[in-house]
Structure 1
């Protein structure tokens, strides 16, 4: 997870309205793919890391700094859909995502697909990456 946080950190402020997320995919102690959200908010970190991992992602574990999205505003496949389709065995997340595009929906989709989902690993280290994002989402929810 520390590697995922390190990948996300330089992208803070470069991803538009999207959060800067880091993702590392591991299997048998080997990194298969790693990425951060792209400039402007696309592509998402999970999407890029899965592309690097390819078929080897089946049965792997993804470490993601923020809950994978359940929906995408663009209508493209969400990160939780992509992780499930790749056959991940486990997804470990640092922080919850309060966005209407996630808000527990990503976690629910992964669990429904039979993927072990854990949340909270190194949350205190990752949370500062999302302070302004979470504050903005909190204002949206109150409106």
Structure 2
């Protein structure tokens, strides 16, 4: 297997990320329940995560801890834009993905939250290929209340 982009593979991975996000829907406090699936450079799944109950840890953190070094050169599938900043001062998810050596991010929707928004820009500025929109309709439905709470 290789990690060349494949629409079919991308859809499967994003559908899995959406399924993970639904697991903790309504259990993450003010944070949205995000799903994340990580693949290695060959396209094999090496990590999965969902936002923890109460809102922490973030899905990307969980998936990266599971994947370890195997994430280098791989792809992250996330249901919501990886955060640019964290409200409590921890490393942002966009920074964690960069540090892990992720080569590509497939993101369903941008995060309108003023602290989180900008993660995509930070990833692109670091030379990471970012694609937005796969799973957009499902994610917008999943995050409808969250989006309404901040807009």
Tell me the TM-score range normalised by the shorter chain: over 0.9
Residue 127 of structure 1 deviates from its aligned partner by 1.4
Say if 2:138 is the partner of 1:125.
yes
The number of aligned residues is: 137
Q: What is the match of residue 39 of structure 1?
A: 53
4+ runs deviating over 6 angstroms: none
In the alignment, which residue of structure 2 is the partner of 1:141? none
Q: Deviations over 1:26-76 (max 9, x none)?
A: 122311000100000000000000000101111000000000000001100
Separation in 2, partners of 1:91, 1:11: 22
CA contact (8 A) 2:43 2:75 kept: no
What is the CA RMSD across the aligned residues, in angstroms? 0.7
Structure 2 residues without counterparts, runs of 5 or longer:
1-13
Give the deviation of 1:23 after TM superposition.
0.1
Q: TM-score, normalised by structure 1?
A: 0.94
Q: Which has the higher strand share?
A: 1
TM-score (norm 2): 0.89
1:81 match: secondary structure = helix
Q: Which residue of 2 aligns with 1:51?
A: 65
In the alignment, the residues of structure 1 paired with residue 130 and residue 43 of structure 2 have an alpha-carbon distance, to the nearest angstrom, of 19
Matched, 1:92 2:106: yes
SS in 2 for 1:67: coil
Answer 1 or 2: which has greater helix percent: 1
Match of 1:70 in 2: 84
The answer on 1:113 being equivalent to 2:126 is: yes
Structure 1 unaligned regions, length at least 5: 139-143
